[in-house]
Amino acid sequence: MIDRTGIVISIAGMTLTGLFMICASVTAAGKLYGNALVLGGGGPVGEAWESGVIAGLADRGIDLSRMDRIIGTSAGAIVGARLAMGMTPEQLTQQALTQFEGAPPSPARKPPPPPDLSFLVSQLEELNAGKTTEQSVGVEVGRWAMRAHPIATESDFVASYRRRFPKEKWPSGSYECVSVDAADGSLKVWNESSGVPLAAAVASSCALPGFFAPVKIDGQPYMDGGARSATNADLARGCKTAIVLVPTAGINHPLAKLSVPRLDVEVAILRKSGCKVAVIVPDAASVSAFGQSGAAENRNAAALKAGRIEGQTNAKEIATLLSTSEGARASSSATSKQ
């Protein structure tokens, strides 16, 4: 579903004025350039849904791999890297349903209780309420993340990303992924010029505090970019158009709900800069698929299928948006088939 009216900007404008003012003040006043694809976080089910949406758009002739910038956070970092590598829609969807983690624990072994994310939620609530700063939250959450007991060792966690991305070379200059420095709370955007292995950068973007330990790169610990924002869509400012995929919108989970006000401000920043924005969020069928009971692999497959249908349904509007950008490299040759 494409959000045509914007999520409730009035609420976000009151709670996140600081972010708006800071980002708006540094928006380039010069000519806007190119198209951006922003892929938000959302765990394995969000990864599957985003892959489905991209495949559905490709079914209608829209090749998002040709976007001038592909910016991914957490699960979106995984999807974005694959897309920038030139994977076909079928490869993309197949990878989204492949398990790269180690073997599941023995059925005889009692699984550990799920991590308590109440501290992370409380910190993000304070950030949304304007009671603290983005960097302060990063510092506090980083300290907590480094003390927490992860569900996997750092080495095992990073190894699963090496299996996803065995080549150290970055896919293209258009791809970027977002992390937060767990030591000083600062934003870190990784790209081809960062000089680090792709797998390490993507793993750091996916190291959800409380679940996984921060990933050390050159001796510095980095954690999930979602510690700043589930989408980080404001990083696309300066582009003529931006397509933002938001797996967390409409999902009944504390972290997912917290992502909405942040997104509102980011979209307002982009639009204020002159960027034309399309926000694609899960429709009713996708939300239902996200909540499907049973094995996780079945839920992910259902989310992927629902996302693909959404991509096909929204193709005309996305093609129209992309056609407004002069010199756009993204294909906008969507057919009239629905």
Tell me how far apart the alpha carbons of residues 170 and 193 are, in angstroms, rounded to a whole number: 9
Q: What is the pLDDT of residue 296?
A: 85
- pTM for this entry: 0.86
Q: What is the pLDDT of residue 155?
A: 95
Local structure of 117: helix, strand or coil? coil
Question: Quick one: tokens of 289?
Answer: 């698929």
pLDDT on residue 329: 44
Residue with tokens 């509102």: 264
pLDDT mean for each 10 residues of the chain (338 residues): 49 40 40 90 96 98 96 98 96 93 54 80 92 94 94 94 92 93 98 96 97 96 96 96 96 89 94 96 96 84 97 96 65 42
Q: What is the rounded distance in angstroms from the CA atom of residue 152 to the CA atom of residue 322?
A: 41
Q: What is the pLDDT of residue 32?
A: 74
pLDDT score for 31: 64
Kind and range of the H or E run holding 3: strand 2-3
pLDDT at residue 333 in the model: 41
pLDDT, residue 54, reads 98
- Cα→Cα distances 6→11, 246, 277, Å: 12, 13, 10
User: Token pair for residue 196?
Assistant: 């680090």
d(CA 190, CA 183): 17
| Number of helical (H) and strand (E) elements in the chain, helices listed first | 13, 9
